[in-house]
Amino acid sequence: MKLPGRKVKRTPAHQRQTLALWLQERALDALLDIPEDCASSAEPFRYDPIKFSPSPGEVFLLRPAIADAWGPVYVLILEPSDAGSWLVAPFGRYSVPAVPGEWRTGLSSEALKVLCLWNHRKVPARAFLAESASKVSSATMSRVKRAFLHVVKGDPLDAASSRRLGPPLVHPADPRYEYLAEERKRLDDHIPRVDSGVGEIENVPLIYLRASSAWLLAAEGRPAWPE
Amino acid sequence: MNDNFHGTTEDAWLEWRRVCAADLCCDATATMLRRFGASRFYAYMNKVETHSGRGMRRSLLYDVNNAWHLLETHAAIGKTRSGKRYKDWLFDRVGPEVESRIRAIEGGATLLMRDVVRQYLRRERGPAFMTSLETKYTEANASYSLDEWLPGQVNPLNDMAQREWQEIAWHHARDYYSRLESSERIILWARFNGFSLNDERIARWTKTSASLLYKKHLALIDDLGAWIKNKHPDESSAALLHMCRLMLDNLAELITENIYKEKRAVRFFKKL
């Protein structure tokens, strides 16, 4: 049976190139086993009182909250949140953005190339390891803020910054779903939980029920959400 | 990777932590760390090259010997001491016993080396700018092309075409609904309503583990894709995916209307 008439707007070439690069990196990653003996030997949840005050734009490493947490995880401080906690976005494992909620930073360090804005969380300051590892420039930080508001609220973003976002996620069998679940878990394993008796961090829902984050709903295989 | 290589000592790691890089450590420490780095780098490279059937190349030997330097360059995020906080991360992972402390540090360094190898291979294999839209990628035993994953945006030509799309999708959804098993209907309902398949309540309702729910979901979507393709064999990926999404919208309605008929549904909703 022939389907009715339609126009098809092709996906831009740069998005196809980005996805091809990401798939290449992902395929290499799949060939490299996770070492069996990489778990830490420390008791989880050993949080010492912090002697520093984080500020927006600073980059911190997170302390593992469980023994086999897969790190290291660098996060960028976006803004102060509730008392004693900070809104952060983690940096990704790969060198190119996977989805429209990931943004290429333009920073040269391998560990800071991609910011996973979709995976933003509130983190208690005592989850940070030692003092800050780096600080991004104020110009970069203002670009990050605009990209963040675009990802979570759908605010407009200039063309140059838009090109730094990852390609759309539309197909239900796309391997990036699995990656998103991995990245959520990777961050979860670095944040103390309420039931651990240590942390006061909220339980972040897996799915963000915001219309502007439609691609995240797609990531969970959900085709639409009633308004 | 568990090759029982424990050739490092805590003193060596502590010295390395104090100074900037292995090159500035005493000869014994520098040699120990370089050997450790080389063994991990070689093990990973050997695994990848063996998998690709190419075998290790002679030109790699230099990089194997230089692996610890590659790690130090890769892991640092700046030239100052604060840019080397990853060293603190390695030591933050250690517990009180000496043997387990060294294992934990080596384990952390192995994770860092894994990233080094991935980036090394990525650079070595070059950019993917020439990747064809037809290049096939295998996922869950099925092959897909870039064209299928990024198929472009479909817009019906006019209002009449829009209605026709909706009508066909509705008929297809009704046909497909009759094929679904109870657990598949619950999986789709959970997705439509914002529940993660990791949610324990969904696992209890379906009496199925989260990992199996994910597998079933992927298999279901694959089957739906194949079903549509069978109905419309000559259509483009973009058109098929558009139909798939319209069908899922209609399935959401059908499933929501009938979800209370599923086994254990009452118990599930009572506990919500």
Q: pLDDT tens digits, residue range A60-91?
A: 999 888 777 888 999 999 999 877 788 999 99
Is the ipTM value over 0.85, yes or no?
Answer: no
What number is the average pLDDT over the span A118-143? 89
CA angle B236, B239, B243 (to 5 degrees): 140
pLDDT greater at residue A145 or residue B98: A145
pLDDT greater at residue B153 or residue A151: A151
Position A212 scores a pLDDT of 30
Say what percent of chain B tops pLDDT 70.
85
Position A225 scores a pLDDT of 28
pLDDT greater at residue A45 or residue B243: B243
Say if B226 is an interface residue toward chain A (CB within 8 Å): no
Is residue B105 over pLDDT 60? yes
Is residue A104 over pLDDT 80? yes
Query: What is the band of B215 on the pLDDT scale with cuts at 50, 70, 90?
Result: confident
| Residue A156 preceded by cis peptide, ω within 30 | no
Position A34 scores a pLDDT of 66
Nearest C-alpha of chain B: how many angstroms from A182?
12
Nearest C-alpha of chain A: how many angstroms from B12?
19
What number is the average pLDDT over the span A54-59? 93
Position A103 scores a pLDDT of 96
Say if A6 is an interface residue toward chain B (CB within 8 Å): yes
B249 contacts in chain A (CB < 8 Å): 223-224
Least confident of A42-46, B4-8, B171-175, B228-232: A42-46
Q: What does pLDDT average to over chain A?
A: 78
Position B93 scores a pLDDT of 75
Position A47 scores a pLDDT of 56
* Digit-coded pLDDT (tens) for B128-158: 555 566 677 665 556 777 777 787 788 888 8
Position A32 scores a pLDDT of 84
| Helix (H), strand (E), coil (C) string for A45-103 | CCCCCCCCCCCCCEEEEECCCCCCCCCCCEEEEEEECCCCEEEEEEECCCCCCCCCCEE
Q: Tell which residue, A223, A224, A190, A219, has the closest CA to residue A206.
A: A219
Is residue B241 over pLDDT 80? yes
Shortest CB distance from B128 goes to which of A9, A20, A110?
Answer: A20
Least confident of A67-71, A159-163, B27-31, B230-234: A67-71
Helix, strand or coil, per DSSP, at residue A140: helix
Query: What is the band of A217 on the pLDDT scale with cuts at 50, 70, 90?
Result: very low
Shortest CB distance from A95 goes to which of B112, B119, B142?
Answer: B119
Burial of B4 (0-12, 13-18, 19+ CB in 10 A): exposed
Is residue A216 over pLDDT 60? no
Position A226 scores a pLDDT of 28
* Digit-coded pLDDT (tens) for B60-95: 766 777 899 999 999 888 777 888 888 888 888 776
Q: A-contacting residues of B 11-40, CB under 8 Å?
A: none
State pTM to two decimals.
0.79
Position B193 scores a pLDDT of 77
pLDDT greater at residue A104 or residue B252: A104
Least confident of A37-41, A219-223, B121-125, B158-162: A219-223
Position A48 scores a pLDDT of 62
Query: What is the band of A2 on the pLDDT scale with cuts at 50, 70, 90?
Result: confident
Say if B167 is an interface residue toward chain A (CB within 8 Å): no
Position B138 scores a pLDDT of 67
Shortest CB distance from A110 goes to which of B74, B148, B236?
Answer: B74
What number is the average pLDDT over the span B263-270? 89
Q: What are phi and psi of A75, to 5 degrees?
A: -130, 150
Position B259 scores a pLDDT of 93
Position B82 scores a pLDDT of 82
- Strands A85-90 and A6-9, by their bridges, are unpaired
**Alpha carbon separation from A31 to A181, A183, B118 (Å, rounded):** 19, 18, 9
* Digit-coded pLDDT (tens) for A158-200: 999 999 999 988 776 677 877 887 888 888 888 876 544 333 3
Tell me how far apart the alpha carbons of residues A8 and B153 are, in angstroms, rounded to a whole number: 5
Beta-carbon contacts of residue B58 (< 8 Å; ≥ 6 apart): none
Position A94 scores a pLDDT of 94
